[in-house]
Structures are given as C-alpha cells and as structure tokens.
Structure 1
Amino acid sequence: MVVDAAAAIIASLTVMAAAGPSTALEHPRPELSASIVQAAAPHALGPLASLPEAATTHASAPASAPASSSAGPAGPAASSATPAVAAIPDLTRLTSTRGTQLLRGLGALPAAETARVLAANPQLVERTLARPPAPRQVDRWWSNLDAATQLSLVSAAPRLVGNLDGVPYVMRDMANRSHLRSVVNALELADPMSLGASERLQQREQLQMLYSVLDALGPATANPPRQLISLDVEGQGKAAIVVGDLATADYVSYIVPGMFISVQQSMVEWVDTAARLHDEQVTWLTLLDSATGATPATDATSDTDASTPTVASVAWIGYQTPHLLNVGSLDLAYEGRDAIASAVLGLQTLRGDNAPYLSLLAHSYGSTAAMLALTETSATVDALAMIGSPGAPGASVATLNVRGDVFVGEAAWDPIPNSSFFGLDPGSSDFGARAMNVAGGIDVITNRVLEGSTGHNSYFSPGTESMRNLALIAIDRGELVTDGTSTDALRTLDYALTY
C-alpha cells in the first residue's frame, strides 16, 4: 500500500540521524495557542435535510431551548438568575477585539447583525479559531447567554460556534451541520462556467471532501448517534465525528491519525473504525458486566448504577496530517499538539465533576503529536495507546500527563517504530511503556481467533488482536491487554473477575 511504501521511505531517513540523536527534536517549538470541470451532481444531504433551522433572531428562539453548557447534552445549566442584557457594542471597536471580548460582543448583537458583521469581516472567525480562548473561558461565556441568544449564534455564526471547545457538543453538532449544508448547497448551485479550470478543480475537490463528511455521518437515525463536533471546510479540511454521546459517556476515546489520513480520502473509513471500536468496547463491557454482576465505576458512574456503562469514540481528524514531503518535520505535530490539548480540555471542562475515563489511541505521526500534547500542555488523560510510533519527544512515560498506563504496539514489518525518527522508540524498555501485542492469537476469554497486524497500516483492521487490546485500554481493563508473553494464558475471565 502507499502508506507502507511511505513508511519504508521514512524509515530510510534515519540514516541521516545514525550518528547521533534525531535533529527533529531541535526544531524550534512554536508558541502554544491560547487554549491549550462540471458542476457536481447534487449529493443527498441525508441527516442534514431533517435538521431544524436555527433561530434567526433572539426573539424567535424557542423558550425551551438549552440555556447553558451542562444540562444534559447541551451542557451545564446556567445560573437561575436571568442573564443581564448586554448593551449592543460599537461595531468599529468590536471588529478590532479578540478572544472572549469578541465573543461577548457577538453575543450582544442581534442575530442578523452578527451574521452581517462576520460576513463583512471573515478575519474575525479566522483569528478567533487560530488562537481560541481557553475552553473554560468559552464555557463561561456560553453559560451566561440565554437560550435564544445561543440558538441565534448557532444560526448566525455556525463556523465559529461549531469549532469552539467549551461549547456544548449538541450545539456544535447543530452549528456544523448547518454550516456543512450551507457550503454544500452553495457549491452545488455555483455556475462552473464562471470559474477557471483551477477553480473548478478546487470546487470539485472541496465538494468531494464535504460529501465524505456527509457519508460518514450516516442517516439521521444512526444508532448509536453521530455528532459532527468540528468542521473546517477549507483546504484539505478537518473534521471530528463522535460515535456515541460525549456529554454522557462513561468512557471516551479519541482516535488520532497519522500520515496520509485526510477528510476527503479517509473520513468514512475513520468513522467506521471509531464505530468498530465503540462496538468492541460495548461488547467487552457487556461481557464483563454480566460475568461479574457489577458495573466498573468511573467518575461518571456510581457504584450503585445498575446499567452497563456507555461509550463514545471520536473519529478525530483535527489537524492536517503530513505527507511524504513534510513528514520529516514536526511542524504539523505541533499543530496536532494544540488541537488535541484543546479537545481534551474542552471535554473535561464540559463534563466537570462527571468526568469520563478518557483515552487517546494514536497512530504513527499522531502518536508524536499526542505525546507533545501530554508533555507540553496541561492536558491530561487516563490512558494512552500508541501504535506504529515514529518516536517520543520525551525520555520516558514519566514525562507524560497520563494518570494510568501507557501502551505501545508495534507490528511485524512496520519500519516506523524502530526508526526512532522523532526521538526514543516508545516501545523500548528504556521508555517504560507497557507492551501491547498485535501479532494475533487466541483470545483466552472469548476463544476468538484474533488476526495479527503487519506493516504500518493494519492496526485498526477488524478482528485483530490490536483492535481487541485498544478496546480494552479504552474501558480501563488494561490488565486484560495481551503483551505476547506467557502471562497472556492467565488473562482468563476468572482472572478478570478477581482483578
């Protein structure tokens, strides 16, 4: 495959670093962000078609709409006191503001005026999303808005609302679907004869990318439900789709991609992977729950909760992944660092004391981005699993903000893990991570035959030992993760019951 061929090329780059440590680690680290030729045939809009139009004025929003960031899926309930009505800001001053000051100003405008200001000043959204306020600041701002204002902002500023960590996921999903529908409609209705050849090609590529997002979302009746929690429609695009409910799930995992994973080419496959991981986790939770007669407790579930815990898996393409010409640089890993940290902090802000068990499952270059996020920002997770990693920027697991275990899987014929291109191989004994076997075998609990992973691109293949172990890591059952030693024969159901 192209990815495996690319992996071999990357591995060969280590010849340049054979005389000493990788020079990639000497790359200057960018400053952390504040948050931590025909018209295409119309594509079926699927779940977007049934989406209700958001309110266009403050007065027209339904009084029963969610008013804050944590009551159910919409997020924390705001104070019972009626929020103070802010004075309409001076537009000249507003367009020169940044961060939360800009957000407060937009929240004080009538919806029609907000839409007009942002249309006339697109740099306001670009600037805010490039260096967004911290999720806690966003949450505080959003919680102080009344329900009508929240819905009017979803309508007037969908791109902004849909991509701010700290805004409740149900509102981000609504905003992003609205933005997606609007852009797709505009592109499909555009006259191709008014465009040059390069513009027509760009338009066609953009439409194909957005169709991939539509296809990945599936039908409105998808079970478990899917939410579009981030969307960037420009360039190669970025998107994140949740399988499950991030607002209530007991176990949350983010699947972080590496080289060559793009929205246009990979979104459907990436969401399918998230769905398979979701189902694998649910299967294990149900099996262990029925065998033990007890539900594993997290901060989000009490010891007396009789229901099986719930799961949310995030198919996350939240940064521009590298290709052959730039994979040797850490530039995009730093972009990934900031985006991962913001997503983690946003989730933890919205969930508050009802925190889920949170894991990052990172592949290839994405593992380096994840480690940067967990060493250079305040983001902290419960577990980290890395597969096919090109190297760690830190010296050991002790440098990572991980409350639980760190796991590393390395497949046969995968040249990337042993390259140590971006630092120490996290699979080495010096790094101190736990080994995660991916070679295949017999599951001693279910008696399933598990396929082995080979090369750089089969860790997420269905029915593999890798997928089994990733699912167990994501539900905090690391003691059942196989490591390829004789101890695996002891990881039986009886062992699980006594652990």
Structure 2
Amino acid sequence: MGQPDVLVDVTTILSTPVVAAVVAGVFGMSSVLLPVTAATASEALAQPSVVTVASDVPQPFIGPDPVGGGSSLDRIARLDGVALLDQLVDLTPGERSEFIALYPEAIGELAATPPAATDVAMWWKRTPASARDSLWIDLPGVVGNLEGVPYAVRDSANRSFLDQTVSDIHAQLDAGVGRAMEDELQARLRMLSAVETSLLTGASGERRTLVSLDVTAQGRAVIAVGNLTSADYVTFFIPGMYVGVAEQLVDWTGNAETSLIEQQQWLDRLDLEGDVATIAWIGYQTPSVVNIAGLDLAYQGRDVLTGSVQGLDAVRSVTGSAQGAADPGPYVSIVAHSYGSTAAMLALQENDISVDALILVGSPGSPATSVDDLKVTDHNVWVAAADTDPVPRSGVFGSQPLDADFGATRFSVRAMGDPITGERLDDITGHVYYFWPGTTAVRNTALIAIGQGEYATTDASNLSEAKALAR
C-alpha cells in the first residue's frame, strides 16, 4: 500500500523541468530531449524491465540476445565501447532520450572507459554523416570527449555542451535552490566562465578549439590553439599542482599561445616551413597541498594524457588516409611542469605512446630511472630548473631528471642575450615562471618543440657569454 505514495513523490520530482535538466546535463544530453512525466515514470516503476516503444518506430537490429528476455533497450545497455556507440547511432532522438533516462550507468561507463581512439576513429569514418550529426547534437558531452572523433566535431559538441550546461545552471538558480547548492552552482559557473574566456581568440589570431570538457566537480578542460588536424608541430602543455580550470585555464591557454607565437617566429627566422598548434591541457585533477605527496592523481594524468596523444595519432591517420596519402603525423612534444612532469613520464614509461621531444621543468622526479625508460624518439629528453626552485631538490617521486646519470639534456633558464637575435631574455626565479613571455625558458622550449634543440642554450653557454661581457 506504500508504493503509490512513493510513486507520487518520485514522479513529481522527475517531472520537474529543473531536475530533468540536471539529469540531461550530467550526460551531455539536450534537456529538451528528456520528457520525463508522471505517466512515463509510473510505467517504468511498474514494469522496470519492459520499455514500451511506439509500434511505428523502426527498431535497431541487435541480434540474438545473449542473456535472453528483455527489451531492445535492455540489450543495448549490456553493450559497451564501439558496440554501444553503434546502437546509440541507430536510435531515434526520442529513443536515445529514453535510453539515457533508464540506463544512465551505461553512458557513465562509456565516458569513464571510452573505446580506444583508433576504434573510435574508424567507427566515426564508417558511420553515415547524418547519423553522426544526430548523435553529437543529442549527446554533445559524450561525443565531444571521445578521442578519435575529428577535432572540429568535438569543438562544436563541447561548445554546445558548455552553452547548454550554463543555461541549465541558470535555470536551476532561477527556480530556487538551497544555500549549499547555490554556492556549488555558482562555483561551477565561475569554472565554465573561465572556459568561455579561454576560447576567445588571442594574440596569434589562431582559432581555439575546445578539445575536451568535463563540467563536474572542479572541472577539466583541454583547449588547442591552432589546427591540430593539419599542424606540423604539436605541443602539449601539462600543468602541475594548483592549476585548476576556474583559476588558471585562462593563463594556461595564454602560455600555450605564447609558445605558439615563439615557435612560429623561430620557424620563420630559421627559414623553416610548418604550422604550429599548442594544447593547454588540464585533462586531470591537479593536486593541492593535501594530496601532493601521492601518485594517484599522476596515474590519472598518465592515462588521460595517453588517450589524448593516441587521439591525435588516430585523427591524423584517418585524415591522411581520407586524403589518399599517409599522414606522417606532426612532430609531437610534451612540455610538462612540476607534478605534470611526473604524470607525463609515467605515461611515456608505462603506456603505449611515444613522442618526439619531452621537456621537463621544475620536476619532482618519477619512477623512471633514465631516458632509456621513456618512449621518446632518440632519447630527446630535455630538463631545466631555476636555481631558486625548491621542487626538483625534493626527490619525492623517485629519480631526478636533472641528475647527469638520468641522461636528459639540460637547457638554460637563466638571463641571457639571445645569440641569434641579440634580444635580452629574462631568467626564472622560483617554481612557476617557466612560461613567462620574454624569458630564456620560453625561447629554449620553443626551439626544442620544433625540433631545433641544437639552438637551445645551456648554462655553459650562458657562462661563456657572462665572461665575454665581463671582459
């Protein structure tokens, strides 16, 4: 006799537009496609294993049911990876809405453990364009974060998801929420506002692409400056502790743009051809003072960074084959700061990726004992630290790449006159200014990232210059 009272409460809640918007927002689904009513909720509770679909709606062919019994949507919910994506594509928008409402855990699992980037790239290529468009429009937060999907599509999907999420939060605030919830929603709005600001075109004039977006908790975001699909040089910038989306994404994207401009200028000076793209990568939760001592977040960063590099490889491979010629791929560099250097070295030591250059600044070390442990072409690993940076001296996470026996090449971050341009460059003090414009660090990092490390200066060359000036 208690069931009808509970049912009334549940259906009342589910039929509230604000709550429907929240459910939709969690999974990146347009809130207008989530018509939850008392009637549909009652039916779902009364017959939890049976979904009624209009007889005139064509149903996708799933094949034999390996378990037996259940509806078509039940069987889809048992799938994962590309198999699940195939079935989501075949559903109508209304069916997708129903599926999300009934099986949110299936979408959550797809987001948490996405298919391999190469599988996604091939799935996208063989899926009809109209079906692909329908899927990303209905599920922007899902498609926008799939490595292997073309970057232009991910940008459109993630921008749509960003706008939708901001709109949904304002709707919740307008409807009225408790004080604690209001504080949480306002914090999310500040985080999303930082993403919006970071997408504005900067000094280079290059379009910025929203490669990834996670709107939960403190958020995660990856923004590219330049065209990742055609660039000859691609550089990932991996941050360390205290670099969050709300507080630092604008500056971190600015750092990526500063390097892009510097790299492009050096290509021009050296009479080299090529286009540059840089990536402001806050793809993991960076640590704070309460969790900096452990490696848990570094392992998270390891795996998400691995997916990002594999995604770049997959997109470029498919793009090249579509144009009838193999794409040799870009020259890929990783510039990793502080705790981010630990995550990057873990990825290159333990996972299936490789890069052309690895640049480590202010590193607290890693389990890797030498450059031999890292999958970097020709051991092209570079390292630097300011004299006043205390972090590299901590040795908290294992071997220190500054040590001579690690095998990395040390470049200078001290003040100097550029031996080619004559420009006076500033030094680095402390732990956080390695990406400051007009510094030796930015100059040398840019040269290494375009494969011109021979022009990077060392502390020995700075010492020689200092002696010459003294004379």
TM tier, smaller = 0.7 to 0.9
| Structure 2: gaps of 5 or more residues | 1-29, 34-57, 63-71, 318-325, 466-471
Q: Is the aligned partner of 1:130 residue 2:112?
A: yes
In the alignment, what sits opposite 1:471? 446
Match of 1:462 in 2: 437
- Which of 81, 87, 90 pairs up with 2:60? 87
Q: Which whole-Å CA distance do the structure 1 matches of 2:160 and 2:436 have between them? A: 33
Q: Which has the higher contact order (CA 8 A, sep 6+)?
A: 1
| Aligned residue number for residue 136 of structure 2 | 154
Find the counterpart in structure 2 of residue 424 from structure 1. 399
Displaced runs of 4 or more, over 6 A: 487-490
Name which of 227, 244, 252 aligns with 1:270: 252
| Kept after mapping to 1: 8 A contact 2:414/2:462 | no
Q: Is the CA contact (8 Å cut-off) linking 1:192 and 1:200 kept in structure 2? A: no
What is the DSSP-based 3-state SS (H/G/I as helix, E as strand, rest coil) of the residue aligned with 1:190? helix
Give how far 1:337 is off.
0.3
After superposition, the Cα gap between the structure-2 partners of 1:99 and 1:194, relative to the gap in structure 1 and judged at 3 Å, is same
* Displacement of 1:335: 0.2
1:401 equivalent in alignment to 2:375: yes
Give the C-alpha shift of residue 386 in structure 1: 0.4
Q: CA deviation at 1:331?
A: 0.1
1:274 maps to a residue whose letter is A
- Establish whether residue 451 from structure 1 lines up as the match of residue 426 from structure 2: yes
After superposition, where does 1:268-417 map in structure 2 within 5 Å?
268-289=250-271, 295=272, 308-352=273-317, 353-354=326-327, 355-404=329-378, 405-417=380-392
Is the CA contact 2:238–2:281 (under 8 Å) kept in the aligned structure 1?
A: yes
Post-superposition CA distance 1:94-129 (Å, at most 9, x none): 122211211111121123322442244332232112
Quick one: which amino acid aligns to residue 372 of structure 2?
A
Worse overlay, 110-119 or 365-374: 110-119
CA apart distance, 1:473? 1.1
Q: Structure 2 counterpart of 1:393, which letter?
A: P
Indicate the SS of the match to 1:408. strand
Asked if the contact 1:391/1:424 (under 8 Å) is kept, the reply is yes
Whole-Å separation in 2 of the counterparts to 1:174 and 1:488: 50
Amino acid across the alignment from 1:442:
G
CA contact (8 A) 2:201 2:207 kept: no
Structure-2-length-normalised TM-score = 0.80
Q: 1:88 to 1:222 in 2, by over 3 A?
A: farther
Task: From the superposition, tell whether residues 148 and 407 of structure 1 become closer, same or farther in structure 2 (CA, over 3 Å).
Answer: same
SS at match of 2:289: coil
**Conserved? CA contact 2:223–2:281, under 8 Å:** yes
Change (3 A) 1:258 1:443: same
1:110 aligns with 92
Task: Give the distance between the partners of 1:454 and 1:172, measured in 2 at CA.
Answer: 38
Per-residue CA deviations over 1:223-256 (Å, capped at 9, x if unaligned) read 2011001000000100001000000000000000
TM-fit CA distance, 1:210: 0.2
Where do 1:161-240 residues align within 5 Å? 161-191=143-173, 194-218=176-200, 223-240=205-222
Query: Once the two structures are superposed, what CA deviation does each residue of 1:362-420 show, in whole Å capped at 9, x if it has no partner?
Result: 00000000000001111100000000000121110000000141000111211111111
Q: Say which structure is richer in helix.
A: 2
Which residue identity does 1:370 align to in structure 2?
A
Q: Does 1:254 align with 2:274?
A: no
Q: Does 1:141 align with 2:116?
A: no
Q: Identity over aligned residues, as a percent? A: 42
8 Å contact 2:358–2:376 — kept in the other structure?
yes
- Please give the per-residue CA displacement for 1:135-190, whole angstroms capped at 9, x wherever unaligned: 11111111111111111111011111000101110110010000000000111232
Quick one: distance in 1 between partners of 2:206 and 2:292? Answer: 35
Task: Give me the whole-angstrom Cα distance separating, in 2, the residues matched to 1:361 and 1:146.
Answer: 38
Tell me if the contact between 2:412 and 2:459 (Cα under 8 Å) persists in the aligned partners.
yes
Q: 1:86 to 1:372 in 2, by over 3 A?
A: farther
Matched residues in 2 for 1:221 and 1:391: separation? 34
SS of equivalent to 2:277: strand
Question: What is the distance in 1 between the residues matched to 2:203 and 2:440?
Answer: 31
Task: Measure, in 2, the Cα distance between the counterparts of 1:369 and 1:220.
Answer: 28
C-alpha contact 1:142 1:167 (8 A) present in aligned 2: yes
Moved more, 115-124 or 471-480: 115-124
Q: Which amino acid aligns with 1:285?
A: L
- Report the CA distance shift for 1:480/1:219 in structure 2 as closer, same or farther (over 3 A): closer
Whether contact under 8 Å (1:118, 1:157) holds in the other structure is no
Deviations 1:415-456 (A, max 9, x none): 111111100111100100000111121101011111000101
Which residue matches 1:302?
none
Change (3 A) 1:447 1:279: same
Q: Any conservation in 1 of the 2:239–2:282 contact (CA below 8 Å)?
A: yes
Q: Which moved more, 1:118-127 or 1:340-349?
A: 118-127
Alpha-carbon shift at residue 220 of structure 1 (Å):
11
Q: CA RMSD in A?
A: 2.0
CA contact (8 A) 1:362 1:387 kept: yes
SS in 2 for 1:191: helix
Asked if structure 2 preserves the Cα contact closer than 8 Å seen for 1:107 and 1:149, the reply is yes
Residue 60 (structure 1) aligns with: none
1:15-61 Cα distance to aligned partner (Å, 9 max, x none) = xxxxxxxxxxxxxxxxxxxxxxxxxxxxxxxxxxxxxx9xx9xxxxx
Contact preservation (8 Å) 2:204, 2:257: no
